[in-house]
């Protein structure tokens, strides 16, 4: 489904970042799928080096970032891309089910980390998800505002765990998921919205 951009900074507003470029946050489109797959490969290699082998990353990415899976996400979820001076810098994919926002993916390119993009993508995705009419998300049958954001983070991904803690998430349990034969120990994280 195609959504109109909101007037509060999405889809066109530009503002200076902490370095020298300009940040643009916009909605992802079908023709961004190759770009997203390329970013995912680079960010995964950097983030999971040391504990998910390259071969395992390739296997999981082929599954979780297949064009089909991304098309579905771009169509059904809040899926935003960040660009810095025209260069692809990160993305967020957030779905909604009733009063729960599901943060599926939040990834910032290594050379653009720690300049506020992760925070901005998260805040804009939540703001947009709150404004969307309830019928916009398949499976969302309530008029109530979302009350909580939930996600999982790789147990060994301490960088992301620190980021999420700073953003106001709390860690509430753990699990292990097996994707394409690769065991991923995960921590559940939750942020309550007020």
Ligand X SMILES: CC(C)(COP(=O)(O)OP(=O)(O)OC[C@H]1O[C@@H](n2cnc3c(N)ncnc32)[C@H](O)[C@@H]1OP(=O)(O)O)[C@@H](O)C(=O)NCCC(=O)NCCS
Residues making contact with ligand X (CB under 6 A):
43, 47, 106-108, 113-119, 153, 157, 159-160, 162-163, 166
Q: How far is the CB of 61 from ligand X (least distance, A)?
A: 13
Strand partners, 78: 94
Sign of the torsion angle spanned by Cα atoms 2, 6, 9, 12? positive
Q: Which is nearer to ligand X, 1 or 158 (CB)?
A: 158
Residues 6+ apart with CB under 8 A from 110: 42, 43, 46
Q: What angle do CA 49, 52, 54 make, to 5 degrees?
A: 75
Q: How far is the CB of 130 from ligand X (least distance, A)?
A: 20
Closest residue to ligand X, based on beta-carbon distance: 118
Q: What angle do CA 187, 190, 194 make, to 5 degrees?
A: 170
Q: Which is nearer to ligand X, 88 or 138 (CB)?
A: 88
Q: How far is the CB of 65 from ligand X (least distance, A)?
A: 13
Q: Which is nearer to ligand X, 121 or 134 (CB)?
A: 121
Spatial separation of the C-alpha atoms in residues 14 and 10, rounded to whole Å: 9
Going by C-alpha positions, the residue among 71, 132, 122, 68 that lies closest to residue 97 is 132
Spatial separation of the C-alpha atoms in residues 189 and 185, rounded to whole Å: 13
Q: Which is nearer to ligand X, 128 or 160 (CB)?
A: 160
Q: Which is nearer to ligand X, 166 or 192 (CB)?
A: 166
Q: How far is the CB of 145 from ligand X (least distance, A)?
A: 24
Q: How far is the CB of 144 from ligand X (least distance, A)?
A: 26
Neighbours of 56 (CB within 10 A): 18
């Amino acid at each position: 489904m195609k959504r109109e951009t909101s007037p509060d900074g999405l889809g066109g507003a530009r503002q200076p970042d902490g370095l020298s470029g300009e940040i643009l946050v916009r909605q992802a489109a079908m023709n961004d799928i190759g770009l997203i797959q390329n970013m995912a490969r680079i960010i995964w290699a950097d983030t999971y080096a040391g504990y998910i082998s390259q071969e395992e990353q390739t296997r999981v990415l082929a599954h979780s970032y297949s064009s089909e899976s991304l098309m579905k996400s771009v169509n059904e979820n809040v899926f935003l891309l960040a660009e810095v001076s025209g260069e692809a810098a990160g993305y967020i994919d957030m779905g909604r089910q009733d009063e729960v926002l599901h943060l599926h993916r939040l990834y910032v390119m290594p050379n653009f980390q720690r300049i506020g993009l992760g925070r901005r993508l998260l805040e804009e995705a939540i703001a947009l998800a709150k404004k969307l009419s309830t019928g916009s998300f398949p499976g969302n049958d309530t008029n109530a505002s979302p009350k909580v954001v939930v996600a999982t983070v790789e147990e060994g991904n301490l960088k992301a765990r620190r980021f999420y803690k700073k953003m106001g998430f709390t860690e509430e349990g753990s699990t292990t998921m097996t994707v394409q034969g690769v065991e991923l120990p995960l921590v559940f994280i939750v942020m309550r919205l007020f």
